[in-house]
Structures are given as structure tokens and as C-alpha cells.
Amino acid sequence: MGFAASVVTIFPEMFPGPLGQSLTGKALERGDWSLDTVNPRSFTHDRHQSVDDTPFGGGAGMVMRPDVIAAAIDAAAPPGDERPRIYLTPRGRRFVQADARRLAEGPGVVLLCGRYEGVDQRVVEARGLDEVSIGDFVLSGGELAAFLVLDAVVRLLPGVLGSASSLAEESFEDGLLEYPHYTRPATWEGRPVPEILLSGHHARIRDWRKDQAKAVTASRRPDLIGAKNVELHLEGN
């Protein structure tokens, strides 16, 4: 009864891949979430099992056929399935932390991984697919984007991340990049840890970290300063 992820992909053997390891892998074993794949190839009718064809109007590359993709989506998500359906494509709107939060609060997700030049636009409309991109670059297919989206969501599921980190995250959800981290040894290759961190002055340490977070955000991501996405706290692993 956990979060149910279904991935429509012509490369089902790629899954769970990295999601079978570490935090997400343990959560998968515990049943906090489930993962199944549907291969459009199984819904082809011709001898060559073609999932793609040449684009109407001409141009480079191939396009995934709407009949084959619709059959695969309908098998993954039968009518009445309430899960959001996402088509992973560089044409989509950007996936952000708020999307991960929203998905983590729901019953699951159906992810369609595009290949070739993409999917016939009619199936996007007919099956109500939400077009989502993970960034301004082009991948050879949606599978790696699916890993990324699922990882971002699964770590937010109840009980997946330790409660300590979840609480820490909430208290820092301030739209800033994370402050820098340090551990032992106190001096390494002649580099001392910032003195303040050894002082034991918790209030001053908190202020220093906040200043560091503001400075790194202003320098690397000025677009985040004053942005409305207070959901974001870009904390590292």
C-alpha cells in the first residue's frame, strides 16, 4: 500500500537500476514504494515490433506511434487509475522540488519515457500526459530522467528518510542553497575547519551558516533570491 510507480519504457531492464540501491533500494524492499515497468514493444502488432515510425511532414529521426504508446499507458494505468501521468521530454516544464513533494503526497505516478524524437502529440493529449523536463539539456531518452524524478520523490515518502533529517529539512525550507559542511580531521592538508564551528556557540553557528547559505545562493543561483519557491532547500546527501 505504498507509493506505486509505473514506468513505460522500451528498456525495462534498466529498472530499478540505481533505485535498487541505498535509501531507495531499502525502501523498495520494505514496500514503502513499488516499481513496475510496461514495455510498449509488447503492444506492437507487426513482425518487426515497431514502436516508432517516420514523422509526417518529414524531418530527422523517428516518432513513437500513438497506438502503441496508448496501449502501453492503458496497460500501466487502466481507466480509473488516479495516478498522475508524466511524459518525460526535454519539451516539458521543469521538474522542481515542489513537484516531488506533490507527487510524494499522492498514490503514485506513471512515467512515460520518450525515445527517438519523441511521442506523437495526439497521445499526449488523449491520455492527459503532463510533459516534464529535468533540465536544459538533451538526454538520449527519458529513462535517466525517470530515475531522477523517482529518487527525488521516494526520499520524501513517509519513513524513507530518517526523521531527524526530515525535521532538519523542514526547519531549513528557506529557498537557499545549503551551507558548507565539515567533519574530522579538524585540520586536513593544512586546511583548518572554520573556527566558529569548533566554538560551541550554537546561536552564532546558526547565524554563520545562514550567512554562508545566503552568500553561496547569491553567487551561484541569483535567480533563487527572492524567488517564491520557499519549498526549496538544496541540501546535499
The only residue of 50, 74, 141, 161 in contact with ligand 6GU, by rule CB under 6 A:
141
CB burial class (10 A; 0-12, 13-18, 19+) of residue 94? exposed
Of 49-57, 137-145, 186-194, 214-222, the segment contacting ligand 6GU by CB under 6 A is 137-145
Measured from the CB of residue 95, what is the shortest distance to ligand 6GU in angstroms?
Answer: 8
Q: Is 159 in the site for ligand 6GU (CB under 6 A)?
A: no
Q: Are strands 63-64 and 52-53 parallel, antiparallel or unpaired?
A: antiparallel
Give the integer Cα–Cα distance in Å for 134 and 146. 9
Q: Is 232 in the site for ligand 6GU (CB under 6 A)?
A: no
Nearer to ligand 6GU, 24 or 89 (CB): 89
Q: Is 153 in the site for ligand 6GU (CB under 6 A)?
A: no
H helices within the chain, ranges in order?
22-30, 66-76, 97-104, 121-126, 143-154, 163-171, 202-220
Nearer to ligand 6GU, 109 or 134 (CB): 134
Q: Is 99 helix (H, G, I), strand (E, B) or coil?
A: helix
Measured from the CB of residue 89, what is the shortest distance to ligand 6GU in angstroms?
Answer: 5
Q: Angle of helix 97-104 relative to helix 143-154, nearest 10 degrees? A: 70
Q: Is 1 in the site for ligand 6GU (CB under 6 A)?
A: no
Q: Provide the mask over 77-116, with x wherever binding to ligand 6GU is found by CB under 6 A and - wherever it is not.
A: -----------xxx-----------------------x--
**HEC string of 146-201?**
HHHHHHHHHCCCCCCCCHHHHHHHHHCCCCCECCCCCCCCCEECCEECCHHHHCCC
Q: Is 134 in the site for ligand 6GU (CB under 6 A)?
A: yes
Give the integer Cα–Cα distance in Å for 132 and 87. 6
Measured from the CB of residue 145, what is the shortest distance to ligand 6GU in angstroms?
Answer: 3
Measured from the CB of residue 237, what is the shortest distance to ligand 6GU in angstroms?
Answer: 22
Q: Provide the mask over 40-79, with x wherever binding to ligand 6GU is found by CB under 6 A and - wherever it is not.
A: ----------------------------------------
Using alpha carbons, select from 47, 171, 67 the residue that is nearest to residue 126: 67
Q: C-alpha distances in angstroms, 148 versus 56, 72, 111?
A: 32, 22, 12
Nearer to ligand 6GU, 11 or 208 (CB): 11
Strand partners, 195: none
Residue pair 122/56 in contact by the 8 Å Cβ criterion? no
The only residue of 40, 66, 142, 175 in contact with ligand 6GU, by rule CB under 6 A:
142
Which residues here bind ligand 6GU, judged by CB under 6 A? 88-90, 114, 133-135, 137-139, 141-142, 145
